[in-house]
Chain A
Amino acid sequence: MEPFAWRPARTVAEVAEATHTAAAAMLTLQPRPSEGEAVVVKAGGVDLLDLMKEGLLLPRTLLDISLLEELKGISALEDGTLRIGALTTLGEIAASPLIRRRYAALAEAAGSAASPQIRNRATLGGNLLQRPRCWYLRSSAHHCLRKGGGHCFAFSGDHRYHAVLANHGCAIVHPSSLATPLLAFRAELEILSSGGRSHRLPLEDFFVLPEADLHRENILKSGELLAAVHLPPQASSRHSSYLEVSERAAFDWPLAAAAVNLQMDTEGRCQYARVALGAVAPIPWRAVQTEVLLEGEILDAGRVASAAKAGLQGATPLPHNTYKLPLAVALIRRAVLAAAQLADEEGGAH
C-alpha cells in the first residue's frame, strides 16, 4: 500500500471543498485528479482499505468524516419521516427497534450483510457508495472499462456473479444490500454540496446504469457528501420483508436478493406493492411488472408466483449466470408471501 495522509474533518464545509469520489479517483481517464492527488472521504474505511491495498485507489489524503455530527443518528422527524445519518453503522441499523418494527426489510438486510465485525464498522453511507465487487474491476491486473480501460473482461470471462438485467456494456451488480430495501421503501437521500447547501433526491434517481455512464455507479459528485437517508412514513398496515441467498451464511455478498413492501386490505387484496431486487442488475432494481401484477389483486400463491416471474422480464442473462433467474423469481415469490403474511402452500410452478 502506498503512503497517504489521514486527516479528521471537523466541519462539513471542509469536506465539500476538495474531495473526490472513489470512482473519480480510480479512473484512468480525464476528468480525474492527477496521480496521487486525490482527497477521499473515509467513513468506516472498509471498502476504501480494500481498494487501496489492491493499488486501485491511491489517495493523497483520507479525510475522516466520522466526527461530523450532521451525519449521525437515527431520528424520527415531525412529518413521520425517519432520518438515518450516513454514519450509522449496519450493526446499529440491524439493532434499531424503530427500524425493526417499521422497516423490517432494512433491518433484515443490514443484519445479514457481511459479518458482525464488519457490520460494526461499515456505515450506511459507505455501504451505498461502495464500489462493485466485479473481480475484474477489483484486480489491478485487469484494466477494465469501468476504470477507464478499453475492454470488459467479464463478458467473455467468468461472470457467474454478474448482472442478468440491464447488463449492456458492463455487467456489474450493485453491491449494496441495503439499497434494495431502501428502494422498496422509496427512500430519499440527503446530499450536502459545497457551500453547505443540502438537497434531497429519491434514491431511485441516484444510481446510474452503465449505458448512461460506465465509470460510476451513482450521481454523487466530487465535493458532495451523503448526509442521511430519509425513509417516508410507513403506515402500520404496511409490511415489508427482505430475503437474500448467498453461498456462505456470513462474510459474503448475496447472489440475489428481494425486498418487498406491501399493503394488504382486510379482504386479502393488495393495495400497494413495491418490489426491489438486489445483485441482479448494475443498480438496485425495481421489479415494476411484479408490482403491477400484485396491486389491486387478491393475492394467493398462484398469483404471487406469476407476478414473481414477471419481475425478471427483459432479463438478458450471460452464459454462466442463468441460474440467477429462477433464484430471483423464488426470492420475490417468497418475499411477497412473507410480507403478505401468506403461507407458502404450493411452491412455485415446477
Chain B
Amino acid sequence: MNDRDGRHTKFPHGLAHLGLDEVEREIAPDEPPPWGPNAELTQIGKSVPRWDAAAKVTGKARYTVDVELEGMLHAAVLRSPWPHAEVLDLDLGAAATAPGVRAVLALLDRPADKEAAELRYVGQPIAAVAADSLALAEEALRLIRVEYVPQAFVVDLEEAMGTHAPAVYASLAHEEIPSAGLPGRASGIPLRGNVRGADTQGSRGNIREGFAAAEVIVDRTYRTQVQTHSCMEPHAIVASWHEDGLEVWMSTQFTAGVRAQLAHEFQLPLARVSVRAQAVGGAFGSKSQLRLYGRAAVTLSRMTGKPVRLVHRRDEEQMDTGNRPSSKQNLRIGARRDGSLTAISLHAYGSAGIAFGAWAGNIASAMYSCPNVESLQYDVFTHASPGCPMRGPGNTQGAFALEQAVDELAENLAMDPLILRDRIDPSVVRREERRLGAARFGWSRRHLPGADAYPVKRGMGMAQSLWPANVQLNAACELQLWRDGRVEILSSVQDIGTGVGTVLRQVVAEELGLEPQQIQLRIGDTEFPSGPPSYGSRTTASITPPARSAAWQIKQALFRSLADRWQVEPEALAAHNGWIYLAQDHERRISWPDAAATLRTDRISAFASRSDDYAGFRSRSGDAAIALNDLGGVQFAEVEVDTETGVIRVVRVLAVHDCGRPLNPLQIESQIQGGILMGISYALLEERILDRHTGWMLNPNFVDYKLLGAADTPQLEVILLENYQGLSATDAYGVAEPANIATAAAVANAVYNAIGMRMETLPMTPAKVLDVLAQSSRRRP
C-alpha cells in the first residue's frame, strides 16, 4: 500500500489460447477491480452489432453535410491554378458586391518580409466567399481578380532532390510549415535544396562494423506512391458564431481537439466553444485538425453573424485535404549465416508536398533486434498539397520495404521467412501470430518462387506490422444514472465508424449487469467531458477504462443506497442480468429500475478520466502516452499473377492480430477487414497522379483514382488473440492501424513467391508487373 491508498491486485495475464497466468498490479482506490478473462464475462468479448448500423443504412444518421441551420450561408473557395506562383494582387471587390454575397475573405498571407504572397501547390486556397447559396458563392469566385506570376516548380519527389530543382522553401525558419505527422516545427533540422534532414532518430550502434560483420547483405530501393484518404463524407463544417460563443458541427475525428484549436485561435474561453460530430463518414487521419477551411468558415460566420457551411467537392477533397506521403527508401540489411541481423541502414526520403514529417521509415529501426542501425529520414519538399497522417503513417510505407527486404534475406539465407523472423523478432506475441497463421493458412504448401506453371502463377507471402499502443490521457467521460433507471454515457468522443460507441455500451453494460442497448450514448459533442481523438488506434484504449471506472462508481453509489435499505454492506451486493442482488442470497433481489428509484435525487453522476497504465508508460508527451506494449499483427496473402496480362488478383488474406483484451470481435474483425482492403487498394491500385508539367492532379475523382471495389475483394479471414496485460480497467487497445500496415508488403511478398521477381514500386499495376517480367526475360540469356 502506498500513500495514495493504492491496492495490490492480481490481473489475468498472457495469451488466452496458451493458458493464462496472473500479474500483480498496484491500482488506485477509485479503479475498479480486475475483470476475469473474456470467457467469464457477459458482454465483453461478445460480437455485439454496431449501435449506429441501422441509422446508417436507413439514411437516418446525421452527418455534418446534413446539418441545415436557419439562415445558413454557403461558402466556396477559390484555389490556386498554379503549382507555384507569386500573387502580386488579390482584388476581392467585385466578388464582395456580387448578388447574394455576404462576405469575402482572403486566405493568403503575405509574409512580412516579402513583396508578394506565395502559392505552392495547385488547389491551395486563396480566398473564400459566403453567399446565400452555393451557386451564388461559386459565381462570385469568378469575379475575384488575382494577379499571378507563375514560377518554376517541381512535383516529383526524385526530381525535387536534384540540385537544380526549383526550391519550395528558401529557409525553414520563417515560414509556417505544416506538419504531416507529429506536431512540431520544421526548423532545427538542416535544409539543402528541397531536402530536409536527416532525422536520425532510431539510429544506434556502429553501422560500418555492422556491415563488416555481415555474411549476407540485401540492398534495394523501394518506392511508394501518394495515397489519398478518399473519405466518403468530404471534409465539412458548419460554423455558427453568435453572441454567446461559437457552435461548430464538423466532420472530425477529434471534437475536443478542434474545440481547443478554435478557442485558442479565436481567443474564446474553452467553455464558450462547442464542437459536434454525430456521424462521420471516414477520416483515416485527415480530419483531426481545424485547418484553414475550418478557420475560414468560422471567420465568415463571425463576419456575417450567420451560420456558414463549407463542404468540399470531391475534386477539392482529393486535391487538398491531405494524403499519405510518398517515399523512396534505400534499405540495406546485413546478417550472419544464422540469420541474426548485424546492420540495418535505411535512407528514407518521403514527400508530404509542402509539409514536413513524412516519416517514411520508423518501422525499420523498431521491428527487429539489430545492434547497429542507421536510420536517416529525409523530407523532400515538392509543390504539392500537404500530406498528413494516414492509417499507420510511416509504418505502412516502411513495412513495404522492410518486410520485402527481410523476405529477400531469408531467401538468400535459404531459410523460411517465418523461421528467420522467429530468430530476429523479439515479440512473443507476433511469434504466436506467425505460428497460428502459418498453420491456418497452409504455409507448408508454399512452393519455391516462380514454381507454378505458366501463365497464371500462384504465390503466398506474409508480412508483419508494428504499432505502438498509445493512450490519450486527456480523455474523460461521465456516467449518469437517472431515477427511472436510464443510464447515459456522456463524452465528446466521436464514433467515426470505428464502433467506439458500441464498445462503450458493452463496457458499461458489463459493469452494471445490463444489456448494451440499455445504455444511452451521448457522444460526439464537446458539451460533454472531453474524449480522446479517433486516431493513433488509441480511442478504445483511452476511453473504455474511464467509462468502466465511471460505471463502477455509479454502481457503488447505487449499492450504497440499497445497502442502507437492506441493512447490508454494499460489498455484499452484485449486479447481473438486470438485477441487483445479495451475492450470498440470490432470492434477495431488485430490478435495475426499482433500485434506481431508491435514489435520493433525480440523477446521480460519476466522472472519470483515463488513469495511467497500471505498469506505467514507455514515454509521454503532452496529452498522449505510449504504452509499454506494442501492437503486433501478422498477415498472410495468397495471390494469382497472370504473367501475360500483369494482373494480380489477391485470392485470400489471413490476418492474425492482437489488441489486448478484445472487446467486440465482430467490430474488430470488420476494422481489420477494412484495414486489409485499404491495404490491397494501396498495393494494387491507388495513386495520386500529378502532372509534371502543370502540377494538377490528373485523377481527382473516383473513376480515375482507383479504389478497390467489391468485385476485387478476396476471401478474408481474421484470427484474434486475447492478450491480457493487466494495464487498465479494460486492458483493451486499438487495431485500426496495425490492420493496414502489413498488407501491401504481404501482397508484394506473395507476388514474389508467384513470379520470382520483386516489385519494388507501388502500386503494383499490370503495367509494372509486365515491365518487371519483361526485364527478367531480357536478363535471362
Contact = CB atoms under 8 A, between A and B. Distances in A.
A248 B708 contact: yes
Contact of A248 (B645, B692, B712): B712
Contacts of B706: 247-248, 252
Contacts of A326: 644, 770, 774
A135 B699 contact: yes
Interface string A280-292: 0000000000000
Interface in B698-718: 698-699, 703-704, 706, 708-712
B414 interface: no
Size bin of chain A's contact surface: 20 to 34
Contacts of A323: 646, 766-767, 770-771
A249 interface: yes
A276 B81 CA distance: 41
A139 B693 CA distance: 14
A348 interface: yes
Contacts of A249: 709, 711-712
A195 to B, nearest CB: 39
Interface residues of B, number: 33
A8 interface: no
> Main SS of the interface on chain B?
loop
Interface stretch (A16-24, A78-86, A150-158, A214-222): A150-158
Interface string B57-94: 00000000000000000000000010000000000000
Contacts of A136: 691, 698
Given A248-B709, A248-B712, A331 B645 contact: yes
Contacts of B765: 247
Contacts of A247: 684-685, 706, 765-766
Nearest to A320: B767
B455 interface: yes
B712 A142 contact: no
Interface string A235-279: 000000000010111111001000000000000000000000000
A347 interface: yes
Contacts of A158: 689, 691-692, 698
A332 to B, nearest CB: 11
B211 interface: no
B766 to A, nearest CB: 6
A165 B538 CA distance: 53
B454 interface: yes
B647 interface: yes
B777 interface: yes
Nearest to A325: B770
Nearest to B710: A250
A294 B29 CA distance: 87
A141 interface: yes
Given A135-B699, A330-B644, A157 B712 contact: no
Contacts of B767: 160, 255, 320-321, 323
Interface in B111-151: 122
Contacts of A248: 685, 706, 708-709, 711-712
Contact of A347 (B455, B696, B709, B777): B455
Nearest to A2: B135
Contacts of A50: 703
Contacts of A197: none
Contacts of B711: 248-250
A121 to B, nearest CB: 15
Nearest to B690: A158
A326 B766 CA distance: 11
A248 B699 CA distance: 15
B693 A157 contact: yes
Interface in A298-333: 320-323, 326-327, 330-331
Contact of A251 (B81, B645, B699, B709): B709
B605 interface: no
The winner among B644, B704, B770, B777 for most chain A CB atoms within 10 A is B644
Interface string B678-693: 0000001100010111
A204 B81 CA distance: 41
Contacts of B684: 247
B694 interface: yes
> Main SS of the interface on chain A?
loop
Contacts of B645: 245, 327, 330-331
A347 B698 CA distance: 36
A348 B644 contact: yes
Given A157-B692, A350-B454, A245 B647 contact: yes
B454 A347 contact: yes
A136 B699 CA distance: 10
A49 to B, nearest CB: 12
Nearest to B695: A141
B66 to A, nearest CB: 21
A30 to B, nearest CB: 24
A141 B455 contact: no
Nearest to B702: A251
A141 to B, nearest CB: 5
Nearest to A330: B644
A120 B565 CA distance: 69
Contacts of B81: 141
A15 to B, nearest CB: 29
B84 to A, nearest CB: 15
Contacts of B774: 326
A249 B713 CA distance: 9
A141 B697 CA distance: 10
Interface string A90-101: 000000000000
The winner among A115, A249, A321, A322 for most chain B CB atoms within 10 A is A249
A157 B155 CA distance: 13
Interface string A337-350: 00000000001101
B122 to A, nearest CB: 8
A162 B571 CA distance: 76
Contacts of B685: 247-248
A290 B774 CA distance: 23
A54 to B, nearest CB: 9
A141 B692 CA distance: 14
Nearest to B768: A323
Nearest to A344: B455
A278 to B, nearest CB: 14
A179 B99 CA distance: 48
Nearest to A256: B645
Interface in B349-372: none
A25 B632 CA distance: 58
B766 A255 contact: yes
A154 B455 CA distance: 33
B138 to A, nearest CB: 9
Contacts of A331: 645
Contacts of A135: 698-699, 704
Contacts of A334: 644
A320 B771 CA distance: 10
A135 B703 CA distance: 11
Contact of B696 (A142, A251, A322, A330): A142
A29 B677 CA distance: 46
27 contacts: A50-B703, A133-B703, A135-B704, A136-B691, A141-B81, A142-B696, A153-B694, A156-B693, A157-B691, A157-B693, A158-B691, A245-B646, A245-B766, A247-B706, A247-B766, A248-B685, A248-B709, A250-B712, A321-B767, A323-B646, A323-B770, A326-B774, A327-B645, A330-B455, A347-B454, A347-B644, A350-B777
Interface of A: 50, 115, 133, 135-136, 139, 141-142, 153, 156-158, 160, 245, 247-252, 255, 320-323, 326-327, 330-331, 334, 347-348, 350
Interface of B: 81, 122, 454-455, 644-647, 684-685, 689, 691-694, 696, 698-699, 703-704, 706, 708-712, 765-767, 770-771, 774, 777
Given A153-B691, A249-B711, 7 more contacts: A141-B694, A157-B692, A247-B684, A250-B709, A250-B711, A320-B767, A322-B771
Q: Which 6 A-B pairs have the closest CB atoms?
A: A249-B711, A330-B644, A323-B767, A250-B711, A323-B770, A135-B698
